[in-house]
A and B are shown apart, each in its own frame.
Chain A
């Protein structure tokens, strides 16, 4: 068991290190960072000064060591445009993104999972067919298009204007973008909850429980749900990537002042320090989430501990 935890942690660490290395390589490939960071219309001496200050005149491996070292010390560089630390810009935006993402995940779980379980319990019924149609719909629906339809219907049909800081302060102003962001995950949860429940319901231990005369509801809650929940834990962990990716677009559609909007704006203005920092944060968050899912598996499914 300790070996399992150690192996998984080591793997996460290596993944993170490779991500850091790739970011370093790509930034170095892009051209001369000194010329990009120096003020415009300055002479060669100034650019050389910047280069020396950034350590860009040293061998590449020293630069790399310096880069990893400064990341480890929490120095993530400064935004070219505002002059503020990338970390600070990110932290300013983080609460709004967490609010949006958290609400989206909650909506996705609260709607998707019961829908999928219900579909499995009433297999072949109209509910089941609706749930499956919904999951296909949710997968194929681009969030930027759905968001636009939501904005359009809200504005023309109900006189509600979503988007911007003002929009984010009302409950409807939160639900509309959160439902847009959570739609894809909702469909995936419904589909997985359905297949996972169906699979569990057909397991021998369920038949055995029925034969022993265990009441229906008890069978469902004590026998079926814990077993069906195992793949769902993974799925919720894995849906994080989709939520992060989706928030980039959703925040843009709803003018939501979060990290996704900051990322897009920084890419447009080529604010490399900010972009690089957000990319590293995403890699770190998702690597950590994958690790947590692996370890949670250990807690939920005792069979893994034996191996």
Chain B
């Protein structure tokens, strides 16, 4: 099993996610520089968090045009697993591998905190280790995490059960008060229709280490591992 973590100039969660992946997959992922023209054979491609290109122009927009991306788009369309976390999610929407976009948080400030999430779809290849409607705790750290799409797109995502996670409180209540950044319907993570690409704003790699305090992210990585096997 081969994993590639794509490193853009300004990525800063590349090492963190590599550590979590190694813990679960028991092997080192390949760190692939964004200027590469070819991608090593990969069963899983990870677009990590950070500030690719300094978030200049628009979060993720320049990275979406990096040389490596045409390979990644090809792989995504042919069914390779891809996950985008935080800035990675923003890049995935910029490449149209996932619908919608991520705009400025409703309060216009950066938010870094642990948040409860409701596992909305516990049958996907990314989330099947969670139980239905499980409430998990995963940190967020973003300035542009406000998920937005037109109503038709939102309806389509929801009708097809493509919402992976929603923001909620610790009792699982999903409403405006438990919406940290203004995302449509509290959406924190989505899956594409083919079921092989996931984007999420929260950081599961920051919740996979007992010593650092949180472990709910581990099941996310284990789900992927089992789906690939």
Does B associate with A? no
